[in-house]
Chains A and B, each alone.
Chain A
């Protein structure tokens, strides 16, 4: 009950944030955004036709009215139909979000799990050769541009200049095998890039925890390394780890998959959103940005609640 009340309070507290995000996004992407009118025109248009299309798209309404309409759409979750294809936005989301999730999830999990494992190894051998080796590897990983990794991996794994073992681009999840075939190279790329950052971050967290007094004490009292690691170190590091993972989620869903999706030609939400930006498909943009903001607020809330589950001492005030 207390948690529930807290959640409600938090949700209400999130409203200004959602308003801010929607307002800025609306201003940038919709009001000053690309003008769809000129894509919908015929080959030899007249001034009159231009005005008609602007009217049809609602461009001729005043700013506040349009923003108000947007908020109304946010509340009712009805964003209308895409300006480009006429397909209802809800259908587009239903089609693309699962693809993005299926695409990103394995890499996201692997990247974090491997990152934590490597960080544990490095932290355990702190300042030793293994630590230096892993951290050196992490810096190299951090220094390579994501784009380079994607292009290079595609050449190495998928092209006739390399192993030619996987599809160059595209998406097919009709069977599990097909899914694995299409997801492997994108996943390897995301893991490769995320690993450097994750390892460094988790190592820093773990090292900090290891140097705490209670860990030293436990060690001095001869607690077994496994138990020490689990009970004293990992458990206490959970809060920063959770924070990192949770906050990655909303951004990973949209922008994390943008490069991957556009380079591998995967019809997920990242690509759809990017196409919507470049063609000025405002109903789609409005939905994506608005929902991302809401997702962000929900994440904030969920993170707080998770803190409490992990560590009951954290009070919900």
Chain B
């Protein structure tokens, strides 16, 4: 290495090799993804849900999800396509409105926990073996050893009544997996030539992490984000059932929680429709996420 002039020789492979590597990976991935029928169906369904959610957000539909003027437990009809619940609310509108809630929860948690996981994972990986790594691993270990629902419940109580207690709790536990994967990848990457070279020419460590290493973990982050998205939506259901979830508004989880009393009296609309909506989105997202993993798996791309 001492034989090469640091300036050009080191910079050259770095600027060329890395983008080239990335381009080929992404190009192949997109091609592969578009050929994956199940994945594309999944993506299509997710987009439909997204449109529903945006429509709710813009106030196009489901604006009367809170009205209570309907009859108690009305059956399905033209006026109430999915019937009404115990206090006469329109289950159809509530199911639609919950789509927005689901995307809110899923996006907030997925984005934040991916960012935190990426940052801490990259730091730990880059400084592996040092005290920084030790501390991050310790935090991760601690968070992983507290049972999830207990932790969320505890956070919810500690933040007493904060509407984002659930989100905070999920983010603080969901980042650890992303962090672990990123750390592993970064440990691999930092021994690559282009990183060694950047180090040798004295590029600041933070710049190396953010400009050169993190972008190369993007495929992991993307896949992890979709997985966390699904996990967040599913956890919301259980947390809402336990009374720790969404506070204002309505969600499929709350609808299912409401339905536990109704099914005993023989009224299944709330339960069935919330379940169908939830299952549809989660299934579609899982299909998409699988396809994404297949497409981005470097080994498979290499084959």
* Chain A interface, DSSP helix/strand/loop, else mixed: helix
How many residues of chain A are within 8 Å of chain B by beta carbon?
44
Task: Tell me the minimal C-beta distance from B280 to chain A in angstroms.
Answer: 9
Q: Is the CB of B149 within 8 A of A145?
A: no
CB distance from B116 to the nearest CB of A (A): 16
Least CB distance from B216 to A in Å reads: 23
- Asked whether any CB of chain A lies closer than 8 Å to the CB of B142, the reply is yes
> In whole angstroms, what is the CA distance A32 to B241 when docked?
23
Is A148 in contact with B138, judged by CB distance below 8 angstroms? no
Cβ contacts B232-266/A at 8 Å (1 or 0 each): 00100110011000000000010010011001101
Bound CA span A27–B155, Å: 10
How many residues of chain B have a CB within 8 Å of chain A? Answer: 42
Q: Report the minimal beta-carbon distance from B291 to chain A, rounded to whole angstroms.
A: 11
Across-interface contacts of A37 in B (CB, < 8 A): none
Binds A, one of B25-33, B71-79, B187-195, B282-290: B282-290
The answer to whether B150 touches A33, judged by C-beta atoms less than 8 angstroms apart, is no
Interchain CB contact under 8 A, A17 and B282: no
Total A-B pairs, Cβ < 8 A: 123
B242 and A151 within 8 A (CB): no
Asked whether any CB of chain A lies closer than 8 Å to the CB of B59, the reply is no
> Could you say which residues of chain A place their CB within 8 Å of the CB of B278?
145, 148
Check B283–A140 contact: CB distance below 8 A: yes
Tell me the minimal C-beta distance from B100 to chain A in angstroms.
18
Known A28-B154, A29-B154; judge A147-B149 contact (CB<8 A): no
Q: Does A49 contact B (CB under 8 A)?
A: no
- List 13 A–B pairs whose Cβ atoms lie within 8 Å, in order of A's numbering: A21-B146, A32-B159, A140-B283, A148-B271, A151-B256, A155-B263, A161-B263, A250-B147, A254-B147, A255-B149, A259-B149, A288-B150, A292-B145
Instruction: Write the residues of chain A forming the contact surface with B, with a CB cutoff of 8 angstroms.
Output: 16-17, 20-21, 24-25, 27-29, 32-34, 139-140, 142-148, 151-152, 155, 159, 161, 250-251, 254-255, 258-259, 262-263, 273-274, 277-278, 288-289, 292-293, 296-297
